Structure 1
Amino acid sequence: MDIKQKAALFAASSAAFLAAGKFAVGLVSGSMAVASSGLDSLLDVFMSAMNFLAIRKAAQPPDETHDYGHTKAENLAAVAQSLVIIFTGFVILYKAGEKFFSKATIRYSPLDLGIMVLSLVFSLIISMVLRTIGKKTDSNALQADALHYTSDLCSNSAAILAIILTYYTGKTVFDLLFAVIIGVFIILSALSILKKGSLGLMDTRISKPMEKTLLDILNRQPFPFAGFHKLRTRVSGNKIFGDLHVLFCRKLKVEEAHDRTKELEADIHHRLPAMDIVIHIEPCEEECGEDEGPCKIQQKSASIRVEG
């Protein structure tokens, strides 16, 4: 089990503990804010468990029917997460409205405040762990889960404020108001997850910083490298794919061009470890003979390198 799968299991088990506590306290006190936060934590269990399965699937190597591997499983998990979370957000809004019109009584105890403070601490720890590992491993699923737990920080803070205000003022409107705020936060965070997951499924090009790194590598290649074109990239889960055509001096032997290409691939993999690159070799388009003196492309390349 790799570090990404361990992180997903940690998040799922922590969320299960919190969900059980919140539901128990919410049912006893009748607090809509605590109960809605409990529903959110129950969803966290489902999402983190789904992330675990998606990450495990994405880690599987290419097979007979999946030449490029299974890395998009993480993007599918992120999209599925967002749709379920959006639905949950609207359920919370509906329940808050229903509670408001029914004029239900809400009873609070120190246990309400205690469980929400505990939830706040757990949400902070979980979001930090998922964000750190998600960025380190470039996992879309973990980063999406981290974003969701970050929204939990906001919802838990809102629930704590609702408990305090309702306790001291005796007005239940604060509890219902913050339940609405929680629902809105959940929906907004889900829309962000949906956008990121959808982009991964649609073969979006690599990020600007990654593209800059790749172009920097290509533009600094020495002679007999003479240029490149038809560069294409795409993101799939935590993997990135690219293909391009590179030009070498037409006087270069095929074996030498192949060796140079292997060196270029090694350079790219060193700077962009997650990239799977396919390079097509082409002869330089410049027509030059043995009696024409120094290579025009070599002089041009040297000039560019000096300026850079």
Structure 2
Amino acid sequence: MTEKASNKTKTVRLSSRQLAIGSVLVAIVVLALKYAAYAMTNSVGLYSDALETLINLAAAFAVLIALRLGEKPADQNHQFGHHKAEYLSAVAEGVLVVLAAIAIFMEAYEALMHPRDLSVPIIGLVLNGLAGVGNALWAFTLVHFGRKLRSPALVADGKHLYTDVVTSIGVLAGVGLAKVTGLIWLDPLLAMCVGVSILFTGWQLIRGSLSGLMDEAIDQEELQQLRETIMANAEGAIEAHDIRTRHAGRVIFVEFHLVVPSKMTVYAAHAICDRIEEAFQQEMPHAVVTIHIEPEYMANESEFDDNLPLD
């Protein structure tokens, strides 16, 4: 059995940490702008928008801590590394979103029971709009680079910010409509809609993270790339089967059985494994590969009916 992990992750980790620090700084600026907008308007809708940004700030800190923990090397108690720490961050973010929704519902109910006058100076709406633009730009940055860096925590944070942008647009439109029409009850009603929206976001974050914690297999596109890499670099072997995969943070773990001629020497079989592993380092550097060598009579003995002929 042979095993080899990529040695190219240091730059990825540094870049992920920089993005996480950026998320904290962006969240602080956006929170200041949105709270100022709420203070100027006394709008429950803008209050809900500001409260969601407070959750964004807490989530950004959680992502930063998770990335720092996830980059720790394997040790005696965590021999496969700490990569799944990122999933815990995404779960924590989902829980925070749910708590924010509950707080929004409570404030909106209070405003419905005891209507309050709205003061809507243009500067307040402009501040909230600027905050939304900042969130949109940063959300795109997080999702784009988070996918490149294979970081579920960064991608989850970016998707959450996308939702924040959409709700900010709805809040601005609703507050303006409530002021123009005089229907003050539109403001808390809109806040409740925001609460429902972020509840759905929280559920998506938790569901996506649980798939990683439950060792879900990689997607079909990556699996096809994996199979092609094996086929292109396993000359001399007969078959590969029982291909198992799972993802943990930005890393995927791959293991499979490689059938070789019964009379092949250990040295020759090991050379084939080295060739396959070197190809993975070039084409899928985020993969940790384990190969189990089997003699020829084990061909067509796949547990998963996934025989991959190589000769």
Question: TM-score under structure 1 normalisation?
Answer: 0.89
1:225 corresponding residue in structure 2: 237
Alignment partners' CA distance in 1, 2:156 and 2:114: 36
- 1:149 and 1:301, CA in 2 relative to 1: closer, same or farther beyond 3 A? closer
Matched, 1:178 2:178: no
Single out whichever of 27-36 and 154-163 deviates more from structure 2: 27-36
**Structure 1 contact 92–183 (Cα < 8 Å) conserved:** yes
Residue pair 1:34, 1:112 contacting (<8 A) in 2 also: no
1:139-178 equivalence runs, <5 A: 139-178=151-190
What does residue 63 of structure 2 align with?
Answer: 51
Q: Give 3-state SS (helix, strand or coil) of 2:78's partner.
A: coil
In structure 2, relative to structure 1, the CA distance for the partners of 1:230 and 1:286 (3 Å cut) is closer
Cα offsets for 1:51-70 (capped at 9, x unmatched) = 01111111111122111111
Q: Which residue is 2:49 aligned to?
A: 37
* Preserved CA contact (<8 Å) 1:116 1:159: no
Correspondent of 1:216 among 217, 221, 228: 228
Aligned to 1:77: 89
1:117 aligns with 2:140: no
Alignment deviations for residues 76-128 of structure 1 (CA, whole Å, 9 cap, x no partner): 00011101111211221222122111122222111221111111111111101
- The SS at the match of 2:82 is coil
Partner residue, 1:207: 219
RMSD: 1.8
Range that drifts further, 193-202 or 261-270: 261-270
> How far 1:185 sits from its partner (Å)?
1.4
1:132 aligns with 2:125: no
Distance apart, 1:195 and its partner CA = 0.8
Distance, in Å, in 2 between the alignment partners of 1:69 and 1:286 is 32
Find 1:2's aligned residue among 11, 14, 17: 14
Q: In 2, Cα distance between the equivalents of 1:301 and 1:110?
A: 69
DSSP 3-state at the match of 1:2: helix
Asked if structure 2 preserves the Cα contact closer than 8 Å seen for 1:112 and 1:163, the reply is no
Q: Residues of 2 paired with 1:224 and 1:39: CA distance? A: 61
> In the alignment, is the contact (CA less than 8 A) between 2:239 and 2:259 conserved in 1?
yes
State whether structure 2 residue 241 is matched by structure 1 residue 241. Answer: no
Q: Does the 8 A contact of 1:154 with 1:185 survive in 2?
A: no
Q: Distance in 2 between matches of 1:271 and 1:89?
A: 43
Over the matched positions of the two proteins, sequence identity in percent amounts to 25
Tell me the amino acid that sits aligned with residue 279 of structure 1: I
User: SS in structure 2 opposite 1:43?
Assistant: helix
- Which segments of 5 or more consecutive residues in structure 1 lack a partner in the other structure? 288-299, 303-308
Cα deviation for residue 141 of structure 1 reads 0.1
Structure 2 segments unaligned to the other structure (5+ residues): 1-12, 300-308
Aligned equivalents of 1:44 and 1:137: distance in 2? 21
2:78 aligned with 1:66, yes or no? yes
User: For the residues of structure 1 that align with 2:125 and 2:93, how far apart are their CA atoms?
Assistant: 28
Q: Secondary structure at the match of 1:129?
A: helix
Q: Are 2:233 and 2:279, in contact at CA under 8 Å, matched by a contact in 1?
A: no
Q: For each residue in 1:24-64, what CA deviation from the matched residue of structure 2 results, as whole angstroms up to 9, or x when unmatched?
A: 33134210011111111111111011101111111111122
Give the total of aligned pairs.
290
Separation of aligned partners in 2, 1:40 and 1:30: 16
Aligned counterparts of 2:223 and 2:187: Cα–Cα separation in 1 = 48
1:292 equivalent in structure 2: none
Name which structure has the greater RCO, CA cutoff 8 Å, separation 6+.
Answer: 2
- Cα distance between partner residues in 1 of 2:47 and 2:185: 15
Residue 124 of structure 1 contacts residue 149 of structure 1 at CA under 8 Å; is this kept in 2? yes
1:174 Cα offset (Å)? 2.3
